[in-house]
Structure 1
């Protein structure tokens, strides 16, 4: 069968061919000696799946590592990739598709720390839907956070791999938070193209979901923090310090997820769900979302190594993208990831962070 590449993503990675801003420059440094790092993340709203970023700020891990991290949110991973490629941001937290496509198009995006150990996108259907498999999708309405989101990419890819035309599906942007939940509850969509933490948020709202099995995604690498190759080379020390702060935040959140969620609420009050439930019930639901992201991070006692990426999993992801038609040919996994920074990122006292987390409110 003929598989089509996603034109939107492909266009993004070509943006630097004419953009003046694509060149690298020395990083900005604050008056107190902290390196300014701009970080772009793909999420329609702040939620507990990103609580570790709030922990790193609230618990002063960024400050300890002499980095001043300035985070911007974008509706999709495609937009995050565009920001990194164009030099508008230093670091992008993104899934694998734009990085793989970027490599083929000659734009160097390299993961230096993993954040999504597993493939995070899949297709699920809300209770009452008559969709039972991918082959039932033609003619249906599929809810996605944004038309250019990784969830949309995955639904299109899954359909093409089954010999189906994605143009037969109507993608409905449903954003996040209350807008997303209302769209699902009101029956505006027949299926969902979201990712793991988003599905947990939906389930927390009392909406039953049924996953559609996509066996070809088993064992794939999901993505993480990426930078352009020249930025990685020139700003290695700053990126290592950023990674170390994130590793500390991961350890803290693993030990005390309740405190991590409260840190998120403190910095981003809008992330606290508006619910009629008790404070304990709301907190419990948010902890469930955070634990989805903490799974497989490698920070539980006995492992103590965050951010390391598995070459076999990255290789499998590249093969999947080739099979899906997102890229024309495979390439070595090491073209898009490096574990070179991981030993230095993990040079801190894990037990000290765990003790502080245990004592935290």
Structure 2
């Protein structure tokens, strides 16, 4: 009798397990998709590279093709135009697009600090933000987060974006080269570009958002940076795919919590090191604090991002932005519970 009861219990358990399998191993509606990014080698986007190189997308059954554009504004344009499905880019774009009537939503925070640094050429007359009037300033791409960062800093000094000239320089070795050539007075960029220029003695730092102290000074607190965002329609039509994407990025953030700079250098492509592994390790050390600890965007961070944009964007001053529509927390919550 006990044997029979045990057998029945086993059958029941197997039956439960069998019915649970489809829920656990749900198929993505769109297992093959294209992701846009603006400057993938930048440490701003390190969680993307980690998810790719550590196989976290493949673990979720996804085949993700990555299109690397010259800056975040270009990857946003690709999303609006339909040539990419999702974007790893700046959170600010979700706010600006809502004001323009475009439903774009972020689903996981990758960076809690922007990590953007504004530097000036060391031998120039620019010693403070007030001296930027008339300057030629390099940014990853016009309309990108590096551009917004400068616009905000200018506004705090009573200056306008039109008071300077912006030049798109990308985010890798080309950005370093353009600063060294002397065609720029200042640059708003990210690591490893900034650490390279600092270590070579080419620049002085005017504003640094790589640390908590720096963000408090500039924004008054955290300011969400890189996120995974997409059209709201994509989320509605592809909830399983969206969850799997978030799971992969959540794993990348978890890996980064305990990774050393040397661990990171061992994972990224060789060309990301800019020919100097020790320098890259130093850049990672400078930037590790910027990554999100939870994947969740706090309400205070959303407000800081909106306040930054309102400072220099007249269109946003008049717009009614519902910040709750810029971030959907459901997928991060599930990822934190195992992603099922």
> What range describes the TM-score normalised by the shorter chain of this pair?
0.7 to 0.9
Residues 1:314 and 2:302 aligned together: yes
Q: How does 1:136-147 map to 2 (within 5 A)?
A: 136-147=131-142
Give the counterpart of 1:335 among 314, 325, 332: 325
Q: Counterpart of 2:337?
A: 347
Q: How does 1:29-68 map to 2 (within 5 A)?
A: 35-43=31-39, 46-68=41-63
Distance in 2 (CA, whole Å) between partners of 1:331 and 1:198 is 34
Residues 1:286 and 2:280 aligned together: yes
The one-character-per-residue Cα deviations of 1:63-103 (angstroms, maximum 9, x if unpaired) are: 11111111111112111111222222221112133221110
Q: How does 1:121-270 map to 2 (within 5 A)?
A: 121-195=116-190, 198-212=193-207, 215-219=217-221, 220-257=223-260, 258-265=262-269, 269-270=270-271
> Could you list the runs of 5+ residues in structure 1 that have no partner in the other structure?
1-30, 275-281, 300-305, 350-361
Q: Which moved more, 1:286-295 or 1:133-142?
A: 286-295
The one-character-per-residue Cα deviations of 1:157-186 (angstroms, maximum 9, x if unpaired) are: 432453324333232333333322222223
Cα separation, partners in 2 of 1:164 and 1:315, compared to 1, 3 Å = closer
- 1:128 positional shift: 2.0
Distance in 2 (CA, whole Å) between partners of 1:60 and 1:71 is 14
Q: Any conservation in 2 of the 1:52–1:249 contact (CA below 8 Å)? A: yes
Cα separation, partners in 2 of 1:177 and 1:138, compared to 1, 3 Å = same
* Secondary structure of 2:268 counterpart: helix
The one-character-per-residue Cα deviations of 1:169-224 (angstroms, maximum 9, x if unpaired) are: 23233333332222222332221122455423433445443224894523222241
- 1:118 positional shift: 1.9
Considering fraction of residues, name the structure with more helix: 2
Please report the RMSD computed on the Cα atoms of aligned residues, expressed in angstroms: 2.9
> Could you list the runs of 5+ residues in structure 2 that have no partner in the other structure?
1-26, 209-214
Distance in 2 (CA, whole Å) between partners of 1:122 and 1:229 is 31
* Secondary structure of 2:48 counterpart: helix
The one-character-per-residue Cα deviations of 1:208-250 (angstroms, maximum 9, x if unpaired) are: 4322489452322224111111111221221211121122223
Give the counterpart of 1:101 among 96, 100, 115: 96
Distance in 2 (CA, whole Å) between partners of 1:142 and 1:188 is 9
**TM-score by structure 2 length?**
0.78
Question: How many matched pairs?
Answer: 302
Cα separation, partners in 2 of 1:32 and 1:125, compared to 1, 3 Å = closer
Give the counterpart of 1:85 among 77, 80, 88: 80
Q: Any conservation in 2 of the 1:252–1:260 contact (CA below 8 Å)? A: no
Distance in 2 (CA, whole Å) between partners of 1:174 and 1:297 is 24
* Secondary structure of 1:53 counterpart: helix
* Secondary structure of 1:118 counterpart: coil
Distance in 2 (CA, whole Å) between partners of 1:166 and 1:285 is 33
Cα separation, partners in 2 of 1:323 and 1:237, compared to 1, 3 Å = same
Distance in 2 (CA, whole Å) between partners of 1:151 and 1:67 is 30
* Secondary structure of 1:209 counterpart: strand
**TM-score by structure 1 length?**
0.74
- 1:292 positional shift: 4.5
Distance in 2 (CA, whole Å) between partners of 1:189 and 1:244 is 41
Q: Any conservation in 2 of the 1:216–1:320 contact (CA below 8 Å)? A: no
